[in-house]
Amino acid sequence: MNLLDPLFRSQAVEKVFSNRATLQGMLDFEAALARAEARAGFIPATAAQAIEAKCRAELYDMTVIARAAANAGNLAIPLIKQLTVLVAQKDKNSARHIHWGATSQDAIDTGRVLQLRQALALIAIELDNLAVALGGMAHKNRATLVPARTWMQQALPTTFGFKVAGWLDSIERHRARLAETQERCLVLQFGGAVGTMAALGTRGLDVAKNLAKDLQLPLPDLSWHSHRDRMAEIATTLGLCTGTLGKIARDISLHTQTEIGELFEPSADGRGGSSTLPHKRNPVTSAVVLSAAVRVPALVSAMLSAMVQEEERGLGGWHAEWETLPEIVRLTAGALHHLTSAITELEIDASRMRQNLDITHGLIFAEAVTMALAEKIPRAEAHEIIQRACKQAQSQHAELRSILAQEAIIKSALSGAELDRLFSPGNYLGVADQFIDRVLATSESSREKKKSRTK
């Protein structure tokens, strides 16, 4: 079923994990292996050319391969059989050299690594775009006042820019993690039957070096057939990222509630409507991202469980990765793509944010008054006085400032002008602005470093 793909997926990443792309990844390995072995003198150069000519996914019957895999136990075995038939039709001698000294897992794992390299590069670009969008939003809204909420209730004044800087700060860590993961985990898999390249004698490393260079993949110190920490790291890195995307989506969706009404996802014909309620403007992107945040953790758990593999070749654990890891990548990419698109057009109602600061009738300034009063009398006593005044304001549905203005001890300790200052939200933001600057500086520095590395 792919009816829901436009809703949950990223079209660019979906192409990377299509049936044809999956076969092409393994065929790219086989073609590169033939070239590497020809350069090392294991097979004739003409054989490498003949093999390479048939390593095109469009030449293969995917239905036949899929059905044969049910008996063979993996896709590589029937794929290599078809490759052999195709090459033999033109050159039987060259067909003898296909898959020389390799094992199915070499083709499957390296093919998957080639797919992951493409997909993670696309995800990295999307993360860059999201970081830029969040950076601009944080800077623009550094003075946009909004209630900060803890345990779902108003706590203190803050700025929307500070909230967005928190989102950006997390995304920057994911950018760094992903870059490290790409460097550490996207490596060649080539070891032959049990990882020792025994079929290639003492020159296996010569072939491996040629193969790694051809595919532009790092050559690890040894093959990693049953050591799956690299695949698990990719899964967990993306799982962490999806969790943050879910946190951002949760925040946005809470702000879109009718009673709050501070944020709105982009509006367009057919977007966010209801089949029965004409007035609805549902946060559809938040729903998509949150659905990924619900699904991905269990998939990551499967990848972690699959790490416990037997001896030199896993039985079942390796197989469990084949659909699980691509699904993690696809869900993460889809959530990231849709959230980035929505963030760039997010509607911010600054006036509603300011209005919502007043709905507690001044209770949101209770800590500010407490701290000011604590400079004149013991803090515990100040806390008790303000707490009592808050309860009175709540029971009487009165303004906290008017209650405090009637307290003799408040009058003696704080002037009217001081109370006015304490009940102004812009005066109790701490170092929010400095924090925003720090996050923006880190984000900008990260982008500049990335640009310099890619030059």
- Strand runs (DSSP E) across 307-443, as ranges? 347-348
Question: For residues 217 and 114, what is the distance between their CA atoms, to the nearest angstrom?
Answer: 9
Is residue 81 in a domain? no
Tell whether the model's pLDDT for residue 25 goes beyond 90.
yes
Question: For residues 248 and 250, what is the distance between their CA atoms, to the nearest angstrom?
Answer: 5
Domain hosting 276: range is 103-187+224-354+436-454
- Does 321 share its domain with 401? no
pLDDT in tens, 109-158: 999 999 999 999 999 999 999 999 999 999 999 999 999 999 999 999 99
- Strand runs (DSSP E) across 129-215, as ranges? 145-150, 153-159
From the list 274, 351, 402, 445, the catalytic residue is 274
Read off φ and ψ for residue 277, nearest 5 degrees: -110, 100
- Does 252 share its domain with 234? yes
Average pLDDT over residues 405-426: 93
Is residue 328 in a domain? yes
- Does 239 share its domain with 289? yes
Structure tokens given for 327: 């699904």
Instruction: Tell me what pLDDT residue 334 has.
Output: 96
- Does 156 share its domain with 292? yes
Is residue 377 in a domain? yes
Instruction: Tell me what pLDDT residue 455 has.
Output: 67
Instruction: Tell me what pLDDT residue 347 has.
Output: 95
pLDDT in tens, 303-354: 999 999 999 999 999 999 999 999 999 999 999 999 999 999 999 999 999 9
- Does 270 share its domain with 179? yes
b/e map 240-278, b = 16+ CB within 10 Å = bbbbbbbbbbebbbebbeeebebbbbeeeeeebeeeeee
Is residue 91 in a domain? no
3-state DSSP: the chain helix, strand, coil percent, rounded to 5?
70, 5, 30
Reported as type and span, the H/E element at residue 264 is: strand 263-264
From the list 149, 250, 281, 313, the catalytic residue is 313
pLDDT in tens, 33-51: 999 999 999 999 999 999 9
pLDDT in tens, 153-188: 999 999 999 999 999 999 999 999 999 999 999 999
- Does 248 share its domain with 347? yes
By CB neighbour count within 10 A (0-12 exposed, 13-18 middle, 19+ buried), where does 164 fall?
Answer: buried
Question: For residues 435 and 433, what is the distance between their CA atoms, to the nearest angstrom?
Answer: 5
Instruction: Tell me what pLDDT residue 452 has.
Output: 79
Taking residue 201's Cβ as centre, other Cβ atoms within 10 Å add up to 10
- Does 175 share its domain with 230? yes
Instruction: Tell me what pLDDT residue 267 has.
Output: 80
Instruction: Tell me what pLDDT residue 281 has.
Output: 79
pLDDT tier, 451 (very low <50, low <70, confident <90, very high otherwise):
confident
Structure tokens given for 166: 């928190």
- Does 260 share its domain with 117? yes
- Does 316 share its domain with 290? yes
- Active-site annotation holds for 313: yes
Tell whether the model's pLDDT for residue 409 goes beyond 80.
yes
CATH number at residue 250: 1.20.200.10
Is residue 120 in a domain? yes
Reading phi first (left if > 0) and then psi (alpha if -120 to 50, else beta), residue 216 is in: left
Question: For residues 64 and 87, what is the distance between their CA atoms, to the nearest angstrom?
Answer: 18
Question: For residues 48 and 51, what is the distance between their CA atoms, to the nearest angstrom?
Answer: 5
State the total domains in the chain.
2
Instruction: Tell me what pLDDT residue 131 has.
Output: 97
pLDDT in tens, 253-298: 999 999 999 999 988 766 666 556 566 678 899 999 999 999 999 9
DSSP 8-state code for residue 258? T
Is residue 78 in a domain? no
pLDDT tier, 453 (very low <50, low <70, confident <90, very high otherwise):
confident
- Does 285 share its domain with 244? yes
CB pairs under 8 A, 24+ apart, for 366-372? 366/390, 366/400, 367/156, 367/428, 368/156, 368/422, 368/423, 368/427, 368/428, 369/400, 369/404, 369/414, 369/419, 369/422, 369/423, 372/414, 372/418, 372/422
For the entire predicted model, the pTM comes to 0.94
pLDDT in tens, 201-249: 999 999 999 999 999 999 999 999 999 999 999 999 999 999 999 999 9
Instruction: Tell me what pLDDT residue 332 has.
Output: 97
Average pLDDT over residues 408-433: 94
CATH number at residue 388: 1.10.40.30
